[in-house]
Chain A
């Protein structure tokens, strides 16, 4: 009787353990993808050194439909920490800006996807995330770097965020439609 109970428990526990291991690997896989995209972004010339295009957020947007919320947040954390380890910016304001912007963006995108479901496209999710990230970073810039003058850079900063958010969202829509890998990940979650 006792042996049968243990066996049942292990049978019930195995799929959960497998799923946990799969999400663990998927989190590492997507954060590596974020890291790769951030190195590509680093190589793209920009008019201002602190300007960001946000292409490293692509895996996070894709993760919204294939991972549970805690894993998406873990992915955001891993992205920020790994970026700061590779670029060596852990003890700088860059880390603070990246951390705050990424979490604001991540939380808004999760909320938008959960609340809107299929009614809100990846373009909408991406734009909301980009705007949230930019707004939080402007507020930080107000207190840590530029003072009151930070409000002057607000409009162009948000405009760039809108444009890059739309482009990133369009890319995600198309990739999600065509990708066999993404389809298999969605299928595995169901």
Chain B
């Protein structure tokens, strides 16, 4: 876990991680085999946990269950079983499951590849740096917001911070992507692209056909 975290956090530049997302994102989103998409999402979950992102199991389960439940309202495909008058159909069930897997998978993927310390060149980069500079100051001063005098204390905070300007964000050392980072990114890209090659050579084994 620590090796993976180091590879993604210390040996890969945030810009390269973001760029790799542009390849991985569509490859995952348009993966036709639900089983492959499900296992890929599990890898994203593992990686998100490895890089230290907080995984919220209850929120994930509630979100996924609600997506599947809402899909079941409109019946589609073969009737699997009934609960009273409510019919559970195969098409609606697999469709809901596919959407839930995709949505959760994309959230975990984003958590791995998108970092707040990503820097852009030019005016847009200056604007983002200014925003994060002010954000750092507001966060430092948040305790000065008094719940009993929310308007007065918030106004005083805005006056003070506006007069003083944004905090200078500590520039992270501009280092390139190391071998560990390259290996981690290459493995992730391969994980999402290789299944397409296998699908070119023939159908999936029966145990991997879920939809």
Q: Residues of A with Cβ closer than 8 Å to B?
A: 24-25, 27-29, 31-33, 35-36, 39, 48-50, 74, 78, 81-82, 84-86, 88-95, 144-150, 152-153, 174-175, 178-182, 184
Contacts and interface: CB of A to CB of B under 8 A. Distances in A.
B131 interface: yes
Contact of A82 (B73, B113, B132, B159): B132
8 contacts: A29-B130, A29-B134, A81-B128, A88-B111, A88-B115, A144-B99, A180-B159, A182-B155
Question: Which DSSP category, helix, strand, loop or mixed, fits chain B's interface?
Answer: helix
Residue in B59, B71, B127, B142 whose Cβ sees the most chain A Cβ within 10 Å: B127
Interface string B118-162: 100000000110111111011100100000000110110011011
A49 B210 CA distance: 27
B71 A149 contact: yes
Given A82-B128, A92-B106, A92-B107, A146 B67 contact: yes
Contacts of B111: 88-89
B114 A84 contact: yes
Interface residues of B, number: 51
Question: Which DSSP category, helix, strand, loop or mixed, fits chain A's interface?
Answer: helix
Contacts of B130: 24-25, 28-29, 32
B114 A24 contact: no
B90 interface: no
Contacts of B70: 145-147, 149-150, 152-153
